[in-house]
Amino acid sequence: MNRDIDIDKELADFERSESKKLGLDREQWTEQVNTHFTGAQRPHTTLLVSGLTIAHDHFVAAALSGLGYKVQVMDAADNAALQFGKEFGNRAQCNPTYFTVGNLVKHLVTLRESGVPTKDIIENYVFLTAGACGPCRFGTYVTEYRKALRDSGFDGFRVLLFQQQGGIKQATGDELGLKIDAGFAYGIVRAIMAGDVLNLVCYRLRPYEVVPGSTNEAMAECKRILYAAFSTNSSVIVALVKCRRLLRKVAVDRTVPKPKVSIIGEFWAMTTEGEGNYDLHKFLEAEGAEVDIQSITNWILFMVWENKHDTQDRIDLRGKDGGRKGLEGKDPTKKLWGLAAADVAIRVVFQSYANAIGLHGYHLPDMDEVARLASAYYDNDVRGGEGHMEVGKLIHFVEDKVNHLTISVKPFGCMPSSGVSDGVQSLITTKWPDALFLPIETTGDGKVNIQSRVQMMLFKAREKARAEFDEALVKKGLTEATFKAKVAGSRWWSRGLHHPKHKAAGVATNLVHAV
């Protein structure tokens, strides 16, 4: 054996030789990104906003306008946007990517076709999108945007990735065009909460409205009132009280038992109100169901919980902890107290908004309890998609009689969502056989097939709602006719914004118990 041979050098030389043969001896490719947006450009630059519900997008735009930015809300993503996404995006992307990327390209192409020069579009418009440390949506979306923009003739158009942690990624020594400070964060969070409470109260009213369309008419006026409040930095609470006066005029009849359906799943797929999820919310309501939506505030609370959980795990680490979430040079106790205060502040502001608009009896989830429920089936440290939340939510829905049916919406091929919906949830439904659970995948087509599957599950959900209602009538010694007469003769029980105390999943059943 030759002891003079340098094994490390020999291996390194072999690696270089083989890499050269395989054509791998090139430098790592890096994407040249234009994120140059300065304070001097702010007066003539329009921020494009899109991606949440219609109400959320409008209120976020208004909040940014109130901070001094020029803002324009893009239309909700539709099938035309999907075609743009598939034309200019990479192959085999998930449904939300095609819709959201295509929606931006569609908007810019429309501007160009209306006579705005491409050069002016690139110089005077910026698209702001969310980002985070995870894969998929928050890791590669921004690259998909830039690839599609380049191929559609808008090379150099600025897509600013607002990280959920870390502010704006912008390498410039000039004054930042988009200031991510306390005022910015507070304005955006308030806009999100206002969108949440307005959506939640309208989804409560619409299935039971006596005059079709009356809820949407009141909602449209509420959007106008809240937009004005955010854009002029006036009181949001006062605006919400004005909205309550409009919404309580909506006449309702809650004596008819309806199946309550909760929509969960991948963030964009369950949130969007359009063709991106086959108009699922409208379809369910047209089929006679009450839709239980998930507030975006839940996601904010989950991010706070996630930071708290990770901090607690890191406290006892040995050695240096200098990572992005590391505690090196930090006081972990102070950080935990700060996160606890953030959780309380979010809940207090949300509840004040809920009370102001008349959203009574709605409670934000206890994230520690959701984590506890899910921990035996899905590790709390596994991240991606909604993490353990979908599992914890389903158990909570069944144990606490929240709904009659849960639908999990996720994009075709989404590994985090599919692994949970098609894998872990099958175990949950085995252990809780009373749970009605339907996972559906969106691809942009297959609408008839998906709606057919939903209709079949809705049949079972209606039976559950009716059985629950009839059982309550027997227990209270009422006939259906007597119950309806009592409600019709009471101004209190007939009020649109009155919500009976929770006893069962169905609102009509809860009203039986209350009467």
- Per-residue pLDDT of 162-178, as tens digits, reads 654 444 444 334 456 67
Q: Which of 47-61, 87-101, 259-273, 308-322 has the lowest mean pLDDT?
A: 308-322
State whether residue 466 is helix, strand or coil.
helix
Joined together, the tokens standing for residue 416 give 């985090």
pLDDT at position 280: 94
Q: Which comes out higher in pLDDT, residue 455 or 426?
A: 455
pLDDT at position 320: 65
SS (H, E, C) 180-246: CCHHHHHHHHHHHHHHHHHHHHHHHHHHHECCCCHHHHHHHHHHHHHHHHHHCCCCHHHHHHHHHHH
Query: What is d(CA 130, CA 163) in angstroms, rounded to the nearest whole number?
Result: 6
What average pLDDT does the segment 245-258 reach? 93
Joined together, the tokens standing for residue 98 give 């095609």
Mean pLDDT estimate for the chain? 86
Closest by Cα among 188, 200, 295, 190 to 235: 190
437 and 429 Cβ atoms separated by less than 8 Å:
yes
Q: Is the pLDDT at 185 greater than 50, yes or no?
A: yes
pLDDT at position 160: 79
Joined together, the tokens standing for residue 252 give 């309702």
- Per-residue pLDDT of 77-87, as tens digits, reads 899 999 999 99
pLDDT at position 166: 45
At residue 187's C-alpha, the angle toward residues 181 and 189, to 5°, is 100
What average pLDDT does the segment 266-281 reach? 89
411 and 441 Cβ atoms separated by less than 8 Å:
yes
pLDDT at position 29: 58
Query: What is d(CA 54, CA 315) in angstroms, rounded to the nearest whole number?
Result: 41
Which range of 79-93, 181-195, 242-256 scores highest in mean pLDDT? It is 242-256
502 and 514 Cβ atoms separated by less than 8 Å:
no
| Residue owning tokens 């998909």 | 144
Residues 6+ apart with CB under 8 A from 365: 298, 301, 393, 396
DSSP for 391-407 reads HHHHHHHHHTT--SEEE
- Per-residue pLDDT of 113-153, as tens digits, reads 999 999 999 999 999 876 554 455 445 677 788 888 999 99
* CA within 13 Å, CB half, 118: 10
What average pLDDT does the segment 439-458 reach? 90
Query: Phi and psi dihedrals of 131, rounded to 5?
Result: -150, 165
C-alpha distances in Å from residue 25, one per residue of 13, 17, 28, 252, 492:
12, 9, 9, 70, 77
47 and 184 Cβ atoms separated by less than 8 Å:
no
pLDDT at position 133: 46
C-alpha distances in Å from residue 366, one per residue of 89, 286, 355, 402:
39, 32, 19, 15
